[in-house]
Structure 1
């Protein structure tokens, strides 16, 4: 699968250089997890965990982090930070209702079949369990968004079309190396609702226009009601 091969190839760069530039959390990813996942106990599964860089925040909140990813190269680093398994996000090696929380952090653009992944997340999450999506903001990031001038982001036509591309305004990021899937905001939010999540909270991060959109959803019960506390 192309995404797997690409991430295997860039795993050392990702761990050694790319993550080093993100340690100050300029996109507010750690803040989003603290706010939307919040304190809790039990197993929190990270789908597309990569090198496991977010495990520390999850553990700090009281959860027990475990991760799955398709890339063996990324998991070489991930297993140093939490228990991991190599698996396809559309076929998680977890029983129905087997985990208390799930997070997907900056990975939905790597998953053209993200709606199917969300349905699988709903399967393994207990009723009332929390799912936190943290991802590239579909409105302000993509091949249609030129962010080369930090003071004047230019949004060109292209937002409304779903697509996969390696076109990027920078050669220092991920998209130009492995490609990225784009789906407009309504498509993304509808996929969450269709998978059986009641949407509870939202957060944006990054400047001058948002780079990250985060969403907290809660798995509906069998009768369609959202259970659990906010």
Structure 2
């Protein structure tokens, strides 16, 4: 397994570029995310909140949002989007600075490709999630969106043999130019490893969605509960 460069080192200094580059994707995923979340109340942790592009979406469900982000620069932009009632905390997703069982909802959005040990993140998320609480995962589809995939004309995809290579992938020749991952690299976890990490953390997946944003799904969304 290759080591992931520190998130703070990769995103600090690039927060404004990332925020602008990712705006369209955040908008296109808003409705599928809302459908998966449903209305709710109580505390909701936006785990890896980045520049805060999803704060308003989470807030609109009726929940009180708390954001956690490792990159100081990204957190600075998130603070510009936060309301007076929202707490934003700098911290490590694999070592959360929260007590046990304090959140009724946890949203993990586009984080699995940036952390060294996503299984550890899920274990920590399960720890701070209230019993019967809901965790929503929304991120890169491990089969069709990753360092092993190559986009083709007419929304096609080629899957390279590096699909089974777990860990950090530097940019590959087929990644294209100018994208977030071409600039920052990407961590990959095969589908079986991703799903097994939920089970190992004591989370039960109750719904799986491949949002219809393209003919070949590039997003995988999961709703899980702590039981």
More divergent stretch after superposition (159-168 vs 6-15)? 159-168
Cα pair 2:204 2:225 within 8 Å, conserved? yes
The aligned counterpart of 1:204 is: 210
1:163 aligns with 2:170: no
Whether 1:140 and 2:144 are equivalent positions in the alignment is yes
The answer for unaligned runs of 5 or more in structure 1 is 221-230
Q: Name the structure 1 match of 2:225.
A: 218
TM-score, normalised to structure 1, is 0.89
1:51 counterpart = 2:35: no
Asked if residue 38 in structure 1 is aligned to residue 38 in structure 2, the reply is: yes
Whether contact under 8 Å (1:165, 1:175) holds in the other structure is: no
Structure 1 segments of 4 or more deviating over 3 A?
none
Quote the residue 2:200 is aligned against.
194
Q: In 2, are the aligned partners of 1:97 and 1:123 still within 8 Å (CA)?
A: yes
Match of 2:93 in 1: 89
State the distance in 1 between where 2:164 and 2:200 align: 20
| Aligned residues of 1:3 and 1:178 also touching (Cα < 8 A) | no
SS at match of 1:33: helix
Conservation of the 8 A alpha-carbon contact between 1:105 and 1:133: yes
What is the deviation of 1:23? 5.5
TM-score of the aligned structures, taking structure 2 as reference length: 0.90
- 1:19 maps to 22
CA deviations over 1:42-98 (Å, ceiling 9, x no partner) = 110011100111011111111111100100000011112232100001111111001
